[in-house]
Amino acid sequence: MRFAAGAFIAFHGLVHLMYVGQALRWFELRPAMAWPIGARLLPSGISDGALRSFAAITIGITSATLIAGGVGILLTAGWGGWVTIASAILVSLLHILLWDGDMKTSTDQGLYGVIINVIIVVWILAAR
């Protein structure tokens, strides 16, 4: 079970990394997807370039630490669970912060990832 959970969390972190590519315009996760442009919870005066850089850097760091946490769980390192919890919470908050407010496109903007992160955090805390 530990191996499967650690591997799942690490791969889940890799999925979050796809948003770095979207933010930097390396590719589009969905045709004509503008994410993170239009983030409703951030000041409107932030330039598109600054917003894309902010999203790429912060999502990239938290995704990498989520991957590290999954590997830590896989290796039964004592820090793996706590790194995973912190990363899952932070990357979820970032996706909420960068959401454009449109419920129709919320699944494209990380809603499923946020739900999975909540399940991961609850599972780790319940397993302690």
Instruction: Determine the Cα–Cα distance for residues 30 and 43; give it in Å rounded to an integer.
Output: 25
Contact of 17 with 27, CB cutoff 8 Å: no
Q: How many structural domains are present in the chain?
A: 1
Instruction: Determine the Cα–Cα distance for residues 71 and 65; give it in Å rounded to an integer.
Output: 10
Q: Each residue of 87-96: pLDDT tens digit?
A: 999 999 999 9
Mean pLDDT of 51-67: 96
Instruction: Determine the Cα–Cα distance for residues 91 and 21; give it in Å rounded to an integer.
Output: 15
At 63 the pLDDT is 96
Average pLDDT in the chain: 93
Going 23 to 25 to 29 to 32, the CA torsion angle's sign is positive
Q: What residues make up the domain containing 33?
A: 2-127
Q: Each residue of 74-108: pLDDT tens digit?
A: 999 999 999 999 999 999 999 999 998 888 888 77
